Amino acid sequence: MKWDNLSLFISDDQGTEHNIQTRVHQANCASCNKDSIWYNHREVTGWIGMTGIPRPSNDSELSRLFPIHEITNQNIPEYSPDMPDNVKVLYKEAALIYELSPRSAAALIRLALEKLCE
């Protein structure tokens, strides 16, 4: 993987451009040449200067923002064919966002269970 920090370029009132480093990284896979976007949770204290946010040292510091993979690419079981359609929709959505936001996925699963019990 080739990693790049993503940064913002903004201009102040006098027209001077400033480069602002973000905690978002772009990674390019050397095998398939596809890009992915990652958020770095690593805590940064003080001024980081032009060197940017420290690169992640392990996967626990990262959350993938893009692409979000389908259920078949995750360790999430496929929905039951016996599920009502409105519950399937909620289950699929929860599976798609699980990696990005487990709490949001849990809320959707709870809603799916409520719909199932109605």
pLDDT attached to residue 61: 75
Condensed to tens digits (0 to 9), the pLDDT of residues 3-38 reads 777 777 788 888 888 777 677 888 888 888 888 888
Please indicate, yes or no, whether the overall pTM of this predicted structure exceeds 0.95.
Answer: no
What pLDDT is attached to residue 72? 46
Residue 108 CA to residue 64 CA, distance in Å, equals 20
DSSP track, 6-31: EEEEEE-TT--EEEEEEEEEEEE-TT
**pLDDT confidence of 116, banded at 50, 70, 90?**
very high
Mean pLDDT of 60-83: 74
Comparing CA positions, the residue from 56, 64, 50, 42 lying closest to residue 21 is 50
Cα 13 to Cα 10, 18, 41, 56, 94: the distances in Å are: 10, 11, 32, 34, 44
State the residue for tokens 């001077």: 16
Q: Above 80 in pLDDT, residue 59?
A: no
Per-residue confidence (pLDDT) for residue 48, from 0 to 100: 47
Q: Answer yes or no: is pLDDT of 2 > 60.
A: yes
Q: Could you tell me what percent of the chain has a pLDDT over 90? A: 20
How confident is the model over 80-99, as pLDDT tens digits?
999 999 999 999 888 888 87
